[in-house]
Amino acid sequence: MKASLHTVRLELTQPLRISRSTMTARDAVWLGIEHDGVTGHGEAVTSVYYGLDTGALERLLTAVGTDLARCTDPESALEALRAGELAGADTPPAVTAAVEAALLDLVGKRANSPVHRLLGAVEPPVAATARTIGITSPGQAASQARRLAASGFEVIKVKAGTPDPEDDVERVRAIRAAAPRARLLLDPNGAWSRPQAEALLPRFAELGVEAVEQPLAPGTPEALGALAETSPLPVIADEDAVDLDDVRRLAGRVHGVNVKLAKCGGVHAALRIAEALDGGCTELMLGCLTASSLGLAPAVHLADRARWADLDGHLLLGHDPWTGIGGTDGFVRASALPGLGVRPRPPRTTEEEVSREDVA
């Protein structure tokens, strides 16, 4: 097998502000794994929060690509990866997830089967995805919510965590008025103290917010569990729920966990988490980083296993270099094509770029 890398810049349509940062773009490193004339693709994206820059991703993916040469075929490589024999214990989960995605894509193409069938699902999963509105003025938030509702989005995720919590309340109130039938999720990204959360959550419950993600700073899962016991809203752990061990500690104490393939290590790791939660009172949310359709596709093939799907990272881009999972109407759909079912999108023309700027 032969591995190749290609790095691209993913620009957002508009800056996305959350409580700890504002993002305008990130790099994506595409991994291609070729065997017998067939190529599988995977994607890893840079992340300041997870300490992964472009150079680190390229170096780590190159190292794993070199190790692939000792595998006889992608099927055995996939088994070796999941057994921890292909990527070392110190390999970041985002890198493992990208390698697994490329191998799944390749294995599926060789078997003429979409990835969801390889994972046991007969029909292509379809899920209503949340669409994120960042920290912005109430007027701008309302305008975005109105457009999203008109486009078919049933779930809107609202970023929170401004220095003045009243700004968050006013933003949610404006969104609720603009999209009265939308399901609202709230995400302060760990910005609140325990007293702030206890004071604010009842107010957001009155505004019809369905659930809140990681209201407290990560690092004290016991405090998050204690808050969930008395919260009028379901509490979903995100930054405190990185891997299977974290989820086992939180299961039964919080109402949900946000599983992102880039933080847990990929599809196989996510399936183990879903199995650990099955039958309990803690439910699964599938989340993502801002990435292309290639980066989102593996999670979409798992979307039927989650109560909440937050798989809109590709929709935040000014130009998504891949296509195949939908989302613009509020629903992501796994493709029935072999492998991940995504394909490269032609580059935008100058005329299309001007048109997109006019819309934005």
Closest-CA residue to 11 (of 292, 350, 288): 292
The answer to whether 284 and 256 are in contact (CB under 8 A) is: yes
Query: Hey, is 168 helix, strand or coil?
Result: helix
Length of the chain: 360
346: confidence class by pLDDT, cuts 50, 70, 90: confident
Closest-CA residue to 298 (of 16, 104, 152, 82): 104
Q: What is the pLDDT of residues 158-216, one digit of tens each?
A: 999 999 999 999 999 999 999 999 999 999 999 999 999 999 999 999 999 999 999 99
The answer to whether 185 and 157 are in contact (CB under 8 A) is: yes
Q: What pLDDT, on the 0 to 100 scale, is given for residue 349? A: 59
Distances (CA, A) of 42 to 145, 211, 283, 340, 341: 32, 31, 27, 9, 12
The answer to whether 209 and 185 are in contact (CB under 8 A) is: yes
pLDDT above 50 (res 11): yes
Q: What does the alpha-carbon distance between residue 308 and residue 228 come to, in Å, rounded to a whole number?
A: 18
Q: Is 159 exposed, middle or buried (0-12, 13-18, 19+ CB in 10 A)?
A: buried
Average pLDDT over residues 256-267: 97
Q: In what order do the strands lie in the sheet with 183-187?
A: 130-133, 155-159, 183-187, 209-213, 235-237, 256-259, 283-286, 308-309
